[in-house]
A = this chain, B = another copy of it.
Amino acid sequence: MKFTCPTSILSENISLAQKAVSTKSPFPVLTGILFEANEQNSTITLTATDLQMSVETSFPAKIIEGGSVVLASKFLGDIIKKLPETELMFEYLPNEGKCVIKYGASEVSVATYRPEEFPKNEEVIDGESFYISGEEFSTFIKQVLFATGTDESRPVFTGVLFEIVGQELRLVASDTHRLAFRKTFIKREDTGKNINVIIPSRTLHEAVRIFGTVDELLIKISEGQVEFSGNGIKLTSRLIEGQFPNYQQVIPTAFKSNILINKKYFLDSLERAALLPRDKDKTPVAKFYLERENMIITSQSESGSIREELPISLEGEEFTVAFNTRYLIDVLKVLETEEIYLSLTGPLNPGVVKPVNDENYLCLVLPVRPS
């Protein structure tokens, strides 16, 4: 294998592939990136996988000799960022077990693995597919992703539920203390088949970073696999097995009190209150006293105390409730409206945060028992 290409192009594509490289794998070949040079279409394809998730990215290059090789990715990724911007000459020397990259009068050699040892990427075929703009995808995923859990013993909560009924996509995530829900419409051929799958949060984090700016992102879902593609890049991932619980039954439909509140002021107050986590367990808990035109937020610890007074518009009952401020901060940070609704069902029952003028989003948060 032998080709030339600009430093920046190679660097960009290696960075992309590295997102799926296994950092600690018993199989050394998985710490590498598969390079494939295709003479027919003058394209280099890089593939990396940790067996859960894989990334495939292609770019044009002047190919002098086709072939394939796996390169140790850590040193490759570090050095490529430090090479001068030039036309690099890339050559695999199989007898010496290394790849040489030449730049001007200088060169680096990178250790290689045999391409035969690299796991084949399973194509996602016969799946259901739909399109969404990269920007919408990114916004919507971020609006639910923060609510996923990290407890590996309950895997269904470590991902986001993608539920598709007709042209409607519903995204749901929960760590059992809170639940975020986003609904949207997508471009999809009506195959009459509904979809109900859970995509790992790590895959979605990377998908947002890779596809956040593409015009059109194609998402294909098949038995056990999901594939995202756009801009010559393909991200494939296993799905999480298991059944997501019936989320609809936990979302309250009637409320004791509805509060309209300025998002920025509310967020600023919560971030200040969060600086005084409860002494016993370091959980940032604040009390919220609802009055007709004001909400009083208080929290205290050994270091001090805080009392915030915020103008609100309240419909319903005046009472007091306590929340983990972190949960409210997380949802306010992903909303873009100037004002939001906080709807409450009492001191021991879930509260719901909704943006004004958007019926397709909500985040449910369980209160903290008053101590």
Contact = CB atoms under 8 A, between A and B. Distances in A.
Contacts of A275: 75, 78-79, 82
A71 to B, nearest CB: 9
- Report the interface size class on chain A: 20 to 34
Contacts of A306: 79, 106-109
B108 A305 contact: yes
A75 B309 CA distance: 20
B304 A106 contact: no
A242 interface: no
Contacts of A368: none
A241 interface: no
A110 to B, nearest CB: 4
Interface in A105-124: 105-111
A269 interface: yes
Contacts of A308: 106
A307 interface: yes
Nearest to A102: B307
B303 A106 contact: no
Contacts of A110: 303-304
A109 B110 CA distance: 59
Contacts of A106: 269, 306-309
A261 interface: no
Contacts of A83: 272
A353 interface: no
Nearest to A78: B275
Best-surrounded residue of A105, A268, A303, A308 (most CB of chain B within 10 A): A303
Interface in A281-325: 301-309
Nearest to A306: B108
Given A309-B105, A309-B106, A98 B304 contact: yes
A308 B105 CA distance: 7
Nearest to A299: B108
Top 3 A-B pairs ranked by shortest CB distance? A75-B303, A105-B309, A106-B308
30 contacts: A72-B304, A74-B303, A75-B275, A75-B276, A75-B301, A75-B304, A76-B304, A78-B275, A79-B272, A79-B306, A82-B268, A83-B272, A98-B305, A104-B309, A105-B309, A106-B269, A106-B306, A106-B307, A106-B309, A107-B307, A108-B304, A108-B305, A108-B306, A108-B307, A109-B304, A109-B305, A109-B306, A110-B303, A110-B304, A111-B303
Given A74-B303, A79-B275, 17 more contacts: A72-B303, A72-B304, A75-B276, A75-B303, A75-B304, A78-B275, A82-B272, A83-B272, A104-B309, A105-B309, A106-B269, A106-B306, A107-B306, A108-B305, A108-B307, A110-B303, A110-B304
